[in-house]
Structure 1
Amino acid sequence: MSLEDVTREKWATRIGFILAAVGSAVGLGNIWRFPFQVGQEGGAAFLVIYLLFVGLIGIPAMLVEFVVGRRSERNPINAFDRLGHGEWRFVGALGVFTGFVILAFYSVVAGWVTRYTFASLTGAYFGEPSVYFNSIAEGPAAIGFHALFMVATAVIVAAGIQRGIELAVKVMVPALLALLVGLIGYAFTLEGAAEGYQYYLSPEIGVIASNWMSILPAAAGQAFFTLSLGMGVMITYASYLGEDRNLAVDGGWIAALNTLVSILAGLVVFPVLFTIGVEPGSGGAGELFVGVGGAIAQVPGSRLVGFVFFGVVVIAALSSAISILEVLVSYAIDNYGMERKKATAVISSVVFLVGIPTAIDLDVLNLYDQITASLLLPLGVFLTVVFVGWVYPDSAEEVAKGTSKGSDGTLPTAWLWYIRIPILLVVGLVLVISAIDLYGTLTDMFL
């Protein structure tokens, strides 16, 4: 079956696309990864650089992926063929591979969250949070919940764009925001709220000035991770988008809502941590479970609070996981003419198998996370920006579609030169620093 014979679905509504993209961006990166990144990189200093990076780099880079996706109407690999530059398809392949690796360990972490949601009702982790986390983070139990989460993800993706993904995110994203707001109201009443807000929201200029070299790559990796950039998701989602949509406006809404969820998550997590005296960032990948889980155990209504909090995280994880799986399924449908349900079943099974090592050894999971966030995501963004900025001639024209303000070419042209030079320089710097840091990590581990 040729590419031209494939009939592709379209988003039924604009809000469906925006919520699906927000659902992709909003996930474990916002609620699991973001708090311990803030803790490890200087609190509010990290928050400032992260917000600047999202606004100045993340949104323009998102438009880059939108251009490739909508113009080609194909998955990340075939997109470059369709645009007449098949020699660049390796960039799409890198994004698909990155998303595949991320989903493999992401599902394991989501399995932990699922287990904690149910365990909250019984108070299973209340007595000894660290002991409980260590008992479920690795081994057969972790593999079992990894499988459960992958099944749930596959069921939604198998239902299709409109009846599966679009319908699911229209429920999940508003529910996520409502539950987070409720939890913020609760966290505001805790004894450590003021100290937590001080740490989280009051940056020290000296910390930013002295530590920006370490904060910048961490903020960049977090931004790319939470915005779903560099893994082919936004290319795939934009491939289902009509030409009447304003890419810049939609991208702004997606980034704004995604960033809002990260900020809201911090307003929940840090008051809780400071209430029981847990140092932010000290728990690494298990911080959400050991630190926050232990704090929840000590507050009134702990079982209900725990169930709601970890339920929120499950919703966020599921909304992101379906977007990553959709990238892989889209490739199988476009290239091999596979029926959606069959493609979903086969690919989700392979993802599950690749994720098993991360469910057996926590060090493997941490390594997967660092490689993808520190190297693969920035590299994918960098290469895509090079293509759209310097190789593909119709980029500005594609951005101008759907907006009367851009019809004269002024704003699209300004965006094009902005991504050609400033964004390439910043992302290139991030990539170099991240590669050096990763080399040091691998050297310490294996030498």
Structure 2
Amino acid sequence: MSNSSAGRETWSTRIGFILAAVGSAVGLGNIWRFPFQVGQEGGAAFIVMYLAFVVLIGFPAMMVEFVVGRQTGLNAVGGIREFAGGAWKYLGGLFVFIGFVILSYYSVVGGWVLRYILGSATGGYIAQGPGEYFVQISSGLDALAAHAVFMLLVVIIVALGVKQGIELGVKIMVPAIIAIFALLAVYAFTLPGAGEAYSYYLSPDLDYLLANWQSIVPAAAGQGFFTLSLGMGVMITYASYLSEDENLGIDGGTIVIFNTGISILTGLIVFPILFSAGVDPETSGAGAIFLSVAEALGNLQFGRIIGVLFFTTVAIAALSSAISLIEVVVSYAIDEFGIARERATILIGSAIFLLGAPVTIDTVMVDLYDIFAAQILLVLGGILLVTLVSWLHPEEAIDELSKGIKSFSGIDQVWLWTVRIPVLVVLIVSLYLGIDTFVDFLTGDAFTDFLASL
């Protein structure tokens, strides 16, 4: 297999790649999706399953994407075609489609975040009431306009290129996320409900885990893949800009540690705020984190200031992930059709905006898109790619993974068999459970009531 990527842009530094990958992984999945998943799935019981999934399944699966990306030096579609040929090229097309779907509703939620920065500064959601404020900004023309603004910001950054746009942006955004969240975590520690919150968040109820594993497993699988940006071609695309002397294992481990750490840090901020304000953390639904945090901030001293800091950080994280999602599609357009980056980014950004427009009709559409994308499409993409790399092209995978690794002889074989059996089995089970969850949603009261209202 030859590397046909001559003339492509590359990362200027290794830290640029790591920050870009961390920026992709650290986003709304960690800050918007993670807390309400924890609340829905039993608090610390979910944390146990999520951490196990990230370490034992997510990290080895990330190496699979790295192998394909770096060896071929191409986008997700071109990379998989070059790596395997034949009908497997359509797997790359699936990744592009997944990125399209996720960013379409991700951008709508990103628009909500922008409105909450303004609402924190003005006290809008405190004066109006969290419930009424969320209803106003989460659907209709308000949501559509905010969705457009968020996508415009994403398009501007990605149109500037890998070095001047993506890499420069994440070098500013990722350290800012960590610094602000560290300060907020210290503040949350001083709140009167912090002790109860930490108990809920960090002390798992194993009986609950065993009794509810059928819902927790697909939720943890989807969350792990979502927050690590797996199953959507992002890590294939980002690794395609890497040189052959990089140690993929160390880079991947660094990304996983940073990403997981920020997820856990988010909970250390959100749950003390909720418990201190007497807000139920098990409130379900895509808008839960907005409603709950807004209600809590209205009852806290310095609530407006904390709100501005919190939602600004969420917005930064959302942008850092969104630029990685659109880059999957943009790199495909550039590599396969020779379209200039600026034109490709504008066209693709416009198409994603249109796909996300129906999400602004009602928040139930966010749940629909999210369950379908995170618990079915991402896991399906992971299953197919793991099968391709570990069972059909193991020698090429081992050779590529070994580049840049100077020690740990035999670690490549451990990785290969980990991916071949336990990772694949867990993903297949997760997909089955995810489909079951999606069917339950389609037949549930929330979605059927929505359809009846149309």
Give the TM interval when normalised to the shorter protein.
over 0.9
Secondary structure of the 2:287 match is helix
The CA deviation string for residues 19-59 of structure 1, in whole angstroms up to 9 with x for no partner, is 00000000001000000100000000000110011000000
**Displacement, 1:7?**
2.2
Match of 1:320 in 2: 321
* One-letter amino acid of the counterpart of residue 398, structure 2: A
Moved more, 279-288 or 116-125: 279-288
Corresponding position of 2:412: 412
Q: Deviations over 1:292-321 (max 9, x none)?
A: 011111211122111101001001000000
CA-to-aligned-CA distance 1:259-301 (integer Å, 9 cap, x gap): 0010000000001111122111314211121110111112111
Pairing of 1:48-447 with structure 2 (within 5 A) = 48-127=48-127, 128-392=129-393, 393-405=395-407, 408=409, 410-444=410-444, 445=447
When structure 1 is superposed on structure 2, of 286-295 and 376-385 the one drifting more is 286-295
Q: How does 1:27-38 map to 2 (within 5 A)?
A: 27-38=27-38
**What do residues 41-97 of structure 1 show as CA deviations (whole Å, max 9, x unaligned)?**
000000011001100000000000001111111111111221242320111111110
1:418, 1:27 → 2: CA distance? 28
| Post-superposition offset of 1:434 | 1.1
Distance across 2 between alignment mates of 1:240 and 1:181: 31
Contact 1:80 1:86 in 2 (8 A): no
Amino acid of the residue matched to residue 397 of structure 2? S
Q: How many equivalent pairs are there?
A: 443
Per the alignment, in what secondary structure is the counterpart of residue 30 of structure 1? helix
How far off is 1:5 after superposition?
7.6
Residue type at the aligned position of 2:155: A
Is this contact kept in 1: 2:180–2:313, CA < 8 A? yes
Q: Which amino acid aligns with 1:348?
A: G
Question: Counterpart amino acid of 1:351?
Answer: I
- Go from structure 1 to structure 2 and tell me whether the alpha carbon gap of 1:345 and 1:293 turns closer, same or farther (over 3 Å shift): same
Aligned to 1:7, the other structure's residue is in SS state coil
> Per-residue CA shift, 1:235-262, capped at 9, x if unaligned?
0000001101011110000011000010
SS at match of 2:388: helix
Alpha-carbon distance in 1 for matches of 2:361, 2:387: 38
State the distance in 2 between where 1:283 and 1:292 align: 13
**Conservation of the 8 A alpha-carbon contact between 2:104 and 2:352:** yes
Match of 1:191, as an amino acid? P
Aligned with 1:207: secondary structure? helix
Query: Cα offset for 1:212?
Result: 1.7
Structure 1 residues 260 and 5: CA distance shift in structure 2, 3 A: closer
2:260 alignment partner, SS class: helix
CA distance in 2, matches of 1:385, 1:83: 13
CA contact (8 A) 1:283 1:291 kept: no
Q: Point out the more displaced range, 389-398 or 375-384.
A: 389-398
Cα distance in 1 for partners of 2:195, 2:36 equals 19
Deviation at 1:443, TM superposition (A): 3.2
Identical positions, percent: 54
Q: Say whether 1:14 aligns with 2:40.
A: no
Give RMSD over aligned pairs.
1.3
1:229 Cα deviation (Å)?
0.3
Q: Summarize deviations over 1:95-142 as a string: whole Å, max 9, x none.
A: 110111000000000000011111211100013111100011000010
How far apart are 1:441 and its partner, in Å?
2.0
1:283 and 1:290 in contact (8 A); partners too: no
- Paired with 1:80 and 1:201, the residues of 2 have a C-alpha distance of 40
Unaligned runs of 5+ in 2: none
Gap runs ≥5 in structure 1: none
Q: Is the 8 A contact 2:26 2:317 kept in 1?
A: yes
1:207 is displaced (CA, Å) by 1.4
Q: CA deviation at 1:432?
A: 1.1
User: Is the Cα–Cα contact under 8 Å of residues 6 and 334 in structure 1 kept in the other structure?
Assistant: no
Shift of 1:440: 2.4
